[in-house]
Amino acid sequence: MVHRDLKPANILLDQNYTSKISDVGLARLLPPSVADQVTQYRMTTAAGTFCYIDPEYQQTSMLGTRSDIYSFGILLLQLITAKPPMGLTHQVERSIETGTFRQVLDPSIQNWPIDEALRFAKLALTCAELRRKDRPDLGTVVLPELNWLRAFGEENTQQFAVDNNVGTSSSHDRVSVQDIRSGPLHQQSGYQSSSQFSGSSIN
């Protein structure tokens, strides 16, 4: 299954802050022979949202199993920068090259763990490679790395809560991550969806 239109507006959060992918109207189920044996499949027309669409798919209408990986990479970069998607990969790459990576991170978050944030950003940049063949595999590369980073984040969030006398979980005698995350959600301007091709999705 290739979604073809991954973007912040199509990622919803439930009451437990679990993400749900929505708006699957453009999704395509690749034939089993295609998904198992080859990496791309020709569609008659390209569809998606500007700044998130796989560049190769946009140019050739060749839909691949890693087409969504590009969109996912842009999403990851937005998560840590709170910036619009236009030119975001270049901004982050440039900040890493010039040693100003800290300045590109979301300023509303204090005390960023720079080493881990940099690791996250580099993963996102590999996902957002222009050439599909240069993007990492979701199952063997991306998810294991994200799971490691999530574990790091949860461990440090719990420690932060302990240091600040936040209540602990009665069942595990550990700080509840959900308690820490509770509170009103707010929308960052950088997460607003960008304009689409010709003002709308292309079918």
- Catalytic positions, please? 5
Q: What is the DSSP letter of 138?
A: I
Provide CB contacts within 8 A for 128, sequence distance 6+.
Answer: 70, 73, 74, 77, 89, 135
Three-state SS at 191 = helix
Strand extents, DSSP E, the chain: 11-13, 19-21, 40-42, 62-64
How many beta carbons lie within 10 A of that of residue 56, not counting itself?
A: 22
The Cα 158–Cα 176 span in angstroms is 7
Taking the mean position of all CA atoms in its chain, how far away is CA 37?
26
Using CB atoms within 10 A of its CB, is residue 52 exposed (0-12), middle (13-18) or buried (19+)?
buried
**Residues 80, 105 contacting (CB under 8 angstroms):** yes
**Residues 63, 71 contacting (CB under 8 angstroms):** no
